[in-house]
C-alpha cells in the first residue's frame, strides 16, 4: 500500500469515531491536511512518473542534440609553427588530407597578403611568388571533410636574412611626369644569372591598359616598354618585389617598392639631317619647325628614335670624354639635352653663325639649335625647344649618313622591333 492510500484510510477511520473522536482530534485536523500536502509533494518529487524523469532515468539526458563528431579533414602547413631561417622559395606549402581546402590566408607582419591558389582538386595551396627575406609570416588554413565539417590550422614562421644582396636602380623616379618615349629602365648593381625569376618579380602595369614587356640588355639592365609610345595621360605603376628572389647563386634581392609615374604628353620631334630641319609634333599636331645643324659628313649623327634622358640649362662638353681628343672643350653649352649614353645631345649652339643653321651640318654628331651664350629664356630656337621639352620626349633622326643607334645606347629600345623585344632571351 502506498502512502497516498494510507492517508485516505486514516481519514475514514477518524470520521467513524464520531464527534467525541473528532473533538479529541480537534485542532490537529488542519495539521493533518498540511501533512498530506507535504507527502504529496514528496511523492511527486521522489516518486514515479513523469515523462521527463523517465527520460533522465533511461540516460537520454536534457533533451539536447547529440554532439557532432570532429572533422576528418587534416590540414598540414609547412614550415612548422615557430620555424625561422625559412627559405624564400619552395618552403611554403599547405595541404589537406581526408578533405579539401576551402580558404588559405598568408600575410606578413604588415598585413600584406601573399597571393596563391588552391590546386590539385582542393588538396594543396601554392604561393604565386617568392616570399620576402627577413620577414615574419602567418598562415591560416581551413578545410572541410565529406560531411561539410571544418578543420582549421594556424602557423607562423620567419624567413632567412641573406648575407649577399642586390638592388636595382630605376628610371623614372616615383611621382615623375615624363614624355611618351620613357621606358622603365632598371640597372642592377650585380650581374643577374636567374633573369627569368628576377623579371617575374617585377610588374609594370598601365592605365589605360596596354601590353608591357621586358627586355634584358646584358646581365645588369632590364627595360620595359609597350609596343608603341605611351599614350598621353597614361598612369604607369612599377612593382619591384625583389626582396627574397635569388638573382644569382647566394645573392638575393632586398627591394620591395612601388614606383608610379605619369605620361605628360606624346611629343615627337623629327630631325631631317638632309633637309637640316626639325619638326616638333605634340599629340598629333605640328607645333613648330626650326632649322638645325647635325653631324658633319665625317661625324654624322645617329639615325633612329632617341629619348631625352637628361636636361641641363648649361653644361660643359669636352671632346676627350667621347673620343674626339682635344678637338673641342666648350665649358658653357646652353640648353643641352642628352639623347645617348655615348654622348649624343640636342643642344643650343652660340659659336656657329645663325645663317649656317638649316644650311650646313657641322657638328661632331650632336643636333644643334641656334642659341645665345648664357642660355636662359632668350627667345632663340635652342631656348624655345628646351622650355618645351621634358625627360622622356622623343627625338627621331632620319636621312643621316650614320647607322641606326643601338637600342641600349641610352633609353632607346624603340629601335628594336616588337617581336625581337619580347622574344625569350
Q: What is the pLDDT of residues 334-368, one digit of tens each?
A: 999 999 999 999 999 999 999 999 999 999 899 99
Class of domain 164-265 as given by CATH: mainly beta
Helix (H, G, I), strand (E, B) or coil at 129: coil
Q: Give percent above pLDDT 90 in the chain.
A: 80
Confidence class of residue 64 from pLDDT cuts 50, 70 and 90? Answer: very low
Place of cell 595621360: 233
Q: What topology is assigned to 267-415 in CATH?
A: L,D-transpeptidase catalytic domain-like (2.40.440)
Confidence class of residue 272 from pLDDT cuts 50, 70 and 90? Answer: very high
Q: What topology is assigned to 74-158 in CATH?
A: Immunoglobulin-like (2.60.40)
Cell of 160: 632567412
**CA 42 – CA 38 distance, rounded (Å):** 6
Nearest residue to 311 via CA among 338, 292, 330: 338
pLDDT for 14 beyond 70 = no
What is the mean predicted confidence (pLDDT) over 384-388?
Answer: 98
Angle formed by the axes of helices 18-25 and 3-16, to 10°? 120
Ranges in the chain annotated CATH 2.60.40.3710: 164-265
Number of CB atoms found within 10 A of residue 382's CB: 27
Ranges in the chain annotated CATH 2.40.440.10: 267-415
Ranges in the chain annotated CATH 2.60.40.3780: 74-158
pLDDT-wise least confident of 51-55, 174-178, 321-325: 51-55
For residue 195, the model assigns a pLDDT of 98
For residue 48, the model assigns a pLDDT of 42
Place of cell 620595359: 224
CA atoms within 13 A on the CB side of 12: 5
Q: What is the pTM of this model?
A: 0.80
* Residues with catalytic roles: 347, 366
For residue 31, the model assigns a pLDDT of 44
In this structure, the strands spanning 277-282 and 285-291 are antiparallel
Helix (H, G, I), strand (E, B) or coil at 419: helix
pLDDT for 168 beyond 70 = yes
In b/e form, how buried is each residue of 289-304, taking b as 16+ CB within 10 angstroms? bbbbbbbeeebbbbbb
In b/e form, how buried is each residue of 336-355, taking b as 16+ CB within 10 angstroms? bbbbbeebbbbbbbbeeeee
Q: Give percent above pLDDT 70 in the chain.
A: 82
Amino acid at each position: 500500500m502506498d502512502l497516498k492510500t494510507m492517508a485516505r484510510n486514516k481519514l475514514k477511520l477518524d470520521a467513524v469515531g464520531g464527534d467525541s473522536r473528532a473533538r479529541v482530534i480537534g485542532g490537529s485536523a488542519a495539521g493533518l491536511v498540511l501533512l498530506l500536502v507535504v507527502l504529496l509533494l514528496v511523492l511527486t518529487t521522489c516518486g514515479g512518473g513523469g515523462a521527463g524523469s523517465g527520460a533522465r532515468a533511461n540516460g537520454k539526458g536534457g533533451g539536447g542534440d547529440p554532439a557532432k563528431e570532429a572533422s576528418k579533414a587534416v590540414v598540414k602547413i609547412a614550415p612548422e609553427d615557430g620555424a625561422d631561417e625559412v627559405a624564400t622559395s619552395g618552403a611554403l606549402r599547405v595541404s589537406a588530407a581526408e578533405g579539401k581546402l576551402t580558404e588559405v590566408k598568408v600575410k606578413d607582419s604588415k598585413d600584406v597578403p601573399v597571393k596563391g591558389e588552391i590546386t590539385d582538386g582542393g588538396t594543396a595551396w601554392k604561393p604565386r611568388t617568392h616570399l620576402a627575406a627577413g620577414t615574419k609570416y602567418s598562415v591560416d588554413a581551413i578545410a572541410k571533410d565529406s560531411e561539410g565539417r571544418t578543420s582549421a590550422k594556424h602557423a607562423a614562421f620567419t624567413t632567412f636574412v641573406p648575407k649577399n644582396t642586390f638592388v636595382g636602380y630605376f628610371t623614372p623616379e616615383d611621382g615623375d611626369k615624363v614624355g611618351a618615349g620613357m621606358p622603365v629602365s632598371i640597372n642592377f648593381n650585380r650581374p643577374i644569372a636567374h633573369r627569368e625569376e628576377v623579371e617575374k618579380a617585377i610588374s609594370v602595369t598601365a592605365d589605360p591598359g596596354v601590353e608591357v614587356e621586358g627586355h634584358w640588355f646584358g646581365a645588369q639592365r632590364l627595360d620595359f616598354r609597350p609596343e608603341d609610345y605611351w599614350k598621353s595621360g597614361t598612369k604607369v605603376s612599377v612593382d619591384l618585389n625583389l626582396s627574397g628572389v635569388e638573382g644569382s647563386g647566394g645573392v638575393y634581392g632586398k627591394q620591395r617598392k612601388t614606383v608610379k609615374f605619369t605620361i605628360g604628353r606624346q611629343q615627337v620631334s623629327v630631325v631631317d639631317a638632309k633637309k637640316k630641319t626639325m619638326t616638333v609634333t605634340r599629340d598629333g599636331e605640328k607645333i613648330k619647325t626650326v632649322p638645325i645643324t647635325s653631324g658633319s659628313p665625317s661625324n654624322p649623327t645617329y639615325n633612329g628614335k632617341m629619348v631625352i634622358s637628361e636636361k641641363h640649362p648649361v653644361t660643359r662638353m669636352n671632346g676627350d670624354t667621347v673620343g674626339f681628343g682635344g678637338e673641342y672643350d666648350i665649358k658653357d653649352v646652353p640648353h643641352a639635352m642628352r639623347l645617348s649614353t655615348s654622348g649624343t645631345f640636342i643642344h643650343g649652339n652660340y659659336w656657329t653663325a645663325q645663317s649656317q643653321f638649316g644650311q650646313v651640318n657641322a657638328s661632331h654628331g650632336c643636333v644643334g639649335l641656334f642659341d645665345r651664350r648664357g642660355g636662359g629664356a632668350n627667345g632663340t630656337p635652342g631656348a624655345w625647344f628646351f622650355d618645351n621639352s621634358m625627360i622622356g620626349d622623343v627625338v627621331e633622326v632620319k636621312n643621316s649618313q650614320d647607322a641606326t643607334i643601338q637600342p641600349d645606347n641610352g633609353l632607346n629600345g624603340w629601335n628594336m622591333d616588337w617581336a625581337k623585344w619580347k622574344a625569350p632571351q
